[in-house]
Amino acid sequence: MPYSNQQRQQLRRQCTLTVPGFKTLSPAEEFKALAAWCKAQHAEADVYGEGGVLSAFEQQIAALLGKEAAVFMPSGVMAQLIAVRLYTERAALLSFGLSPNSHLLLHEQEAAVSLWGLHAVPVGSRLRPMVASDLVAQRQALACALVELPMRESGGLLPSWEELEALKAQAARTNLPLHMDGARLWQCRAFYQRSFAEIAAGFSSVYVSTYKDLGGMAGALLAGDAGFIAHARIWQRRMGGNLYQQTPFVASAMMRFEQRLALLDDCFRRAQDLALGLSALPGVRVNPAVPQTNMLHVHFDAPAEALNMARDEMAERDRCWLFGVARPTDVPGWSYVELPVGDHLLDLDNPRVVQLFEQLLARASAAR
């Protein structure tokens, strides 16, 4: 009988070997580490988003991204909805552009439409990053265009630096504001070998996550010019996102910020090495073939249900956790898993990981 989600989480906690992501602490361990960090830093709390370490972190991220100001918000969904709202208000247009596989289209219950009656216009292909020719081909008037760097649903794909600069130039020629969905922007520096400010230059606003890769409890930052962020704070209040105190969320990201950023180059190289190992297995394809960030999608010639059951069996018997969830692909009988590469994989060599996935495929085949 398949495990429930709760049972599956318990299985994962019992595993002594984990492949995806970064090592995490228990709530008790996390709060202990957080208390020690706050004491060492003489951290002061914010009140309704003002003062203390929160304001200091906003200034740090704004400077890192080359923007005038930034505001911390409890979620990326809120940050991006507010950004879209501001651009459509400014332009007096209901339409905005975004990738066909944008988070706003796939995972937010049509929030932009339901809340404000906006029209999300798919731009470009779901199989690759948005490029300048996609903007040229677009005939609808848009208030802004959302560009995701990197594209999660395509395995962490990025445009080349030349393609990215051409996209920025095309948007500038038509006075189209670009907003970056940078939930995983921290992963991009290793590929581009440029600063975050250089990557974000040409974008009117940028959203970044404080828990993806950074390991914070929750939260996001929206960065842009001072007027844009001042207006964003008004909408944050209107949407109930201006919590009385947000210091725990911010401090949990701050205390490991520099350490995690420093690890991502190693994680990027490990992802590329892992792709070489896994792609040698029969019935396995990796996308991208050469990873561009510290994440990749691994495609299997096996049904998702069989892979998930095999994963659970190995977790119970061998105390190893191989991936989050297998999902069906557009090709019948094939499925894929997302593998974010964190410090777990820095401690595991390819022969061991490949062996585990060979066992997974053998179990999944036997189940069929």
Tell me the fold of 46-244: Aspartate Aminotransferase; domain 2 (3.40.640)
* Residue whose entry in the numeric block shows the structure tokens 């990873």: 291
Tell me which of 1-5, 215-219, 332-336 is least confident: 1-5
Looking at per-residue pLDDT, the higher value among 367 and 127 belongs to 127
Return the pLDDT at 1.
58
**CATH class given for the domain over 5-24+258-367:** alpha beta
Domain locations along the chain? 5-24+258-367, 46-244
Cα gap 17→246, rounded to integer Å: 33
pLDDT tens column, 31-83: 999 999 999 999 999 999 999 999 999 999 999 999 999 999 999 999 999 99
Return the pLDDT at 367.
76
Q: How far is CA 118 from the centre of its chain?
A: 24
Does this model's pTM top 0.85? My answer is yes
Q: Could you tell me the CA-to-CA distances from 330 to 98, 120, 287, 299, 327 in Å, in that order?
A: 22, 24, 14, 11, 10
| Statement: residue 260 has pLDDT above 80 | yes
| Statement: residue 297 has pLDDT above 90 | yes
Share of the chain above pLDDT 90, in %: 96
The residues that bridge with 119 in the sheet, in sequence order, are: 95
Return the pLDDT at 307.
97
Query: pLDDT class for 7, splitting at 50, 70, 90?
Result: confident
Return the pLDDT at 344.
97
pLDDT tens column, 163-203: 999 999 999 999 999 999 999 999 999 999 999 999 999 99
Cα gap 181→177, rounded to integer Å: 13
**Under a CB-based contact definition with an 8 Å cutoff, are residues 98 and 111 in contact?**
no
